[in-house]
Amino acid sequence: MLNIRSVLLPYCALVLLAIPVLAHAQWAPLSQLGLNKPLSLELNNLEGNTIHLQQYKGRVVLVNFWATWCEPCKEEFGELIYLQEKYQSQGLVVLAVNLAESRPRIKTFLQTNLVSENALPIALDNSSLTYRAWKVRGIPTTYLVDRQGIVRAYWMGPIDAEDPSFLKLLLQTLK
């Protein structure tokens, strides 16, 4: 028979572990990460072609760090596709940067979740160098890059495409 402690203790531990993530689940200026210079990105996509952040200059880019094993990332993927489809005509690109997983594993994830390989540009950070250079503290994490290629803010935690603070910042940047 289970006693109340054996049930309640793991639940409380989970809640306590989630507090730091939830506390950071808001747009924040990059200065909080100690990033004071423009960031670069040069990674291969699923086809082996190189993606450069600067190739999107003139467009607004959401750079999202994710992994197939990350449950919040899986839930967020549909939101990212929705944002890409809704705001693409206004100059938005959502770039999904996968953290150190193989092409076959990512392709299986896409097939399992009925996502087209062309739904979002997917970049592979196999060495985690970009993850470290961008000072990602956990995944999912998303960076908002303006039309000049300057990272303006970041979001730690899954994005809600209908969140008022997110939409306000995104729409201001798209202007």
User: Given pLDDT bands bounded at 50, 70 and 90, which one contains residue 10?
Assistant: very low
Is the pLDDT score of 174 beyond 50? yes
Give the chain's domains with CATH numbers: 26-174 (3.40.30.10)
Task: Check: CB of residue 116 under 8 Å from CB of residue 84.
Answer: no
pTM, rounded to two decimals: 0.81
Strand order in the sheet with 60-66: 27-29, 151-156, 141-145, 60-66, 92-99, 122-125, 42-45, 50-52
The model's pLDDT over 103-139, given as tens digits with 9 standing for 90+, comes to 999 999 999 988 998 999 999 999 999 999 999 999 9
Is the pLDDT score of 11 beyond 80? no
Half-sphere exposure for 136 (CA within 13 Å, toward CB): 24
Q: What is the DSSP letter of 143?
A: E
Distance CA 80, CA 73 (A): 10
Distance CA 99, CA 126 (A): 6
Task: Check: CB of residue 71 under 8 Å from CB of residue 77.
Answer: no
Mean pLDDT across the chain, nearest whole number? 85
Our CA dihedral for 85, 98, 15, 75, rounded to 10 degrees, sits at 30
pLDDT of res. 40: 86
